[in-house]
Amino acid sequence: MLAPERRTRWDFTVAALVAVAVLTVAAALWWTSDARRTTLTTAVGPNATSAAGSGSLPTALAEAWRAPSPATPVPLAADGRAVTGAAGVVAGRDLHTGAVRWSYRRDRPLCTVAAAFQHVVAVYQRSETCSEVTALGWVDGRRGPQRTGPVEAPTRLVAAGNQVAATGRRYLEVWRSDLVRTLAYGRLPTPVQPATQPRPDCMHDSMALSNPKLGGGKLAVVEQCPGERVRLTVQRSDPKEPDHPEVTFSTLLPGQQAQAIAMSGERVAVALPDPARLAVLDGQGKEVAEYPLTVPDTDLRGSPPGGLADVTETPTEIYWFTGSATVALDIADLRPRWTRAGSLGTGSEVAGRLLLPVPGALAVLDTTTGAQLGALPVDRGGYRGPVGTASSGGVVLEQRGDTLVALR
């Protein structure tokens, strides 16, 4: 019988050295990982609910709280929460007090924050791209799906149904609710089959996304391509293969500039300057209507901020802020119903009325005719720029530049 093998002092020394090496490597990986630089604090206690009386039109408004939020292009509010984004932190706040109920912090710059499919979608910058994307629970901040992808910086998000699109001058993407990419369009950062992209050398001026339940899931892109007039391309937002676009139509528009405004069913509306007008095209790219607009041509020249027209959609109307006026579009055929000059944003509906930001007040408008029925004075101090609005739970939120202000 063989004698049992004995461990020597050297064996114990080697084992200890291996254990130290493993712990050292693990510590180094943790120290350099994103996990060490991420802090998530979820909400505790019962879920927030909207306050009673939230469907009533307020009789007066005063400032309740404010917070820095440069990463939210528009106010984000629902289910008793308002969401802010600043200095790498996304925070879910009590809608009525502004107290932070949950937060998600990373040591990276925030590119943008948006609401999509009952979640908060936060996009962080890595190197030169806005590539780190995380979905957070709206009420409690719990982390949901995540993705990494080469989205251009800067970028903006637009949501429709169970999809969200990220803008980009050369390259854009569409994701579904689990943040899996459904469409890659433009100049692919690392193309496997470059020939699958129809126009990789074009610049994207603006885009609009249709709700898959209403319009079959389509993306409209206004493109500036070398050597030709401005072009409108409409394609499926969820082709069979993400990097193989399935184009419904692509057509040249009159002139050199245009803005994609909205999509509804098989129709898409684009704004054209010189003279200012709104053209409506059908599902084959044929113009079916053209409407003159009583807005300055300067509002329609160039690209809208972030490549997205300032649009708010309700079940019956689409409100579009041109930069100096608000235009209400019929949601069925996209025809303009009325125009209010001198406004500061798209406004938000409360109790069947539109609260429209104007200098020194929120004007109360009839949604059908645009007639002003009253006004709620609002003191904005020295702020004179555009105002984004949202209403929820008896609170009106105003996005004034980099600051979110709650009014009650």
Predicted confidence (pLDDT) per residue in 172-212, tens digit: 999 999 999 999 999 998 776 668 999 999 999 999 999 87
Q: What's the pLDDT at 216?
A: 73
For the segment 236-243, the average pLDDT, to the nearest whole number, is 96
Residue 228: pLDDT band by 50, 70, 90 thresholds? very high
Per-residue pLDDT reduced to its tens digit, 22-45: 455 444 444 444 544 689 999 875
- CA dihedral for 81, 164, 343, 70, sign (positive or negative): positive
Residues in contact with 16: Cβ distance below 8 Å, sequence separation at least 6, in sequence order: none
* Strands, E assignment, 193-335: 203-209, 218-224, 231-236, 247-252, 259-264, 267-272, 277-281, 287-292, 310-313, 317-321, 325-330
Using a pLDDT cut of 70, give the percent of the chain over it. 87
Instruction: For 106-142, write each residue's pLDDT tens digit.
Output: 999 999 999 999 999 999 999 999 999 999 999 999 9
The yes-or-no verdict on residue 47 having pLDDT over 60 is no
- pLDDT greater at residue 289 or residue 55: 289
Check if the beta carbon of residue 63 is closer than 8 Å to that of residue 101.
no
**Strand pairing of 110-116 and 119-126?**
antiparallel
Question: Percentage of the chain surpassing pLDDT 90?
Answer: 82
* Mean pLDDT, rounded, of the chain: 91
The DSSP line for 100-163 is: EEEEEEESS-EEEEEEETTEEEEEEEETTEEEEEEEEETTT--EEEEEE---BSS--EEEETTE
Cα separation of 366 and 369, whole Å?
Answer: 6
More confident residue, 18 or 223: 223
Residue 276 pLDDT exceeds 80: yes
CB-CB neighbours of 238 under 10 Å: 19
Segment 367-384 mean pLDDT: 97
Q: Which domains does the chain have, with CATH numbers?
A: 37-149+351-408 (2.40.10.480), 157-307 (2.40.128.630)
Residue 222 has pLDDT above 70, yes or no: yes
Q: What is the pLDDT of residues 77-98, one digit of tens each?
A: 999 999 999 999 999 999 999 9
The mean pLDDT of 366-387, rounded to a whole number, is 97
What's the chain's length in residues?
408
Which residue in this structure is represented by tokens 């629902």? 78
For position 213, what pLDDT does the model report? Answer: 72
When pLDDT is cut at 50, 70 and 90, the band that residue 7 belongs to is low
Question: What pLDDT, on a 0 to 100 scale, did the predictor assign at position 200?
Answer: 95
pLDDT at 194: 67
pLDDT at 27 (0 to 100): 44
pTM value is 0.89
